[in-house]
Amino acid sequence: MGFLHKGHISLVKESQKKADITIVSIFVNPTQFAPNEDFSKYPRDLEKDSQLLLNEGVDYLFCPTVEEIYSTNHQTYVDVTEITKILEGEFRPTHYRGVTTVVAILFNSVYPDFAFFGQKDAQQTAVIRQMVADMKYEIEIVVCPIIREEDGLAMSSRNIFLSPAERDKALVISKSLNETSELISSGDHNVKNIIKKVNNNFIKESSIHLNYFRIVHADTFKEIDELKLGNSYFILVAAKVGNTRLIDNLLIHL
């Protein structure tokens, strides 16, 4: 959605490794924002983004207008029905319908062989993979690692909204993910016990409002009670720091 950072550029670089032509779309999609969310305030700097992509050797920049994506009589939406009900779907119930609809439109506009997404939006990548499988798109979805600041904060266009004090407090998110990973590595595989310990980090920090901190199966995104060897899991967190909502995750393999 623009206001590019190194995380976005990592997707560009991965595309350039795998594909002959790299197309970047920039479109702040109104249908994935609820009325009370930050669509109008979402950061935009198309001139800076364009120069950054030019410097990276991107072949095409596709930045349609809202009217080009959604006609005045637009009536058709793509709705993945199950995986969208949980986690982010609990807090943003209309969000994923907007995501899958616009991604389907972008796919139909370009017909790519590959599509590159960041792991920071882990549930989103699972939703899109489900849509691609269900709708028989011949597109390989490539999920690229999270890119972080030196202090561990996951890069996000919304980080610009954090004050210096909030920016410092936001580090509890990545620190809690790492603490969870350490608890699991030490042999604690009881999910309820792990989450109880880590939730204390957020209880102590009154300026952060925790939406969720959960451990789910990496394939189904369903919550589990006990971690088992041979499986992969996502540790997922969403929290509001001041007025800025941030998400982050960590993928672990047992």
Among all residues, which ones are annotated catalytic? 8
Distance CA 156, CA 153 (A): 9
What are the Cα distances from residue 52, in Å, to 24, 147, 148? 11, 17, 19
**Of 99, 144, 146, whose CA–CA distance to 249 is shortest?**
146
> Which structure tokens are listed for 51?
């120069």
**Left if phi > 0, otherwise alpha if psi is -120 to 50, otherwise beta: which for 57?**
left
What are the Cα distances from residue 41, in Å, to 53, 101, 162, 189? 23, 22, 13, 41
What is the Cβ-side half-sphere exposure of residue 111, based on CA atoms within 13 angstroms? 0
Q: For 41, list phi and psi in degrees, rounded to 5.
A: -95, -5
DSSP-assigned beta bridge partners for residue 236:
214, 249
Distance CA 98, CA 89 (A): 12
Q: First and final CA of the chain: distance in angstroms?
A: 34
Distance CA 69, CA 226 (A): 44
Distance CA 171, CA 182 (A): 17
Distance CA 152, CA 19 (A): 30
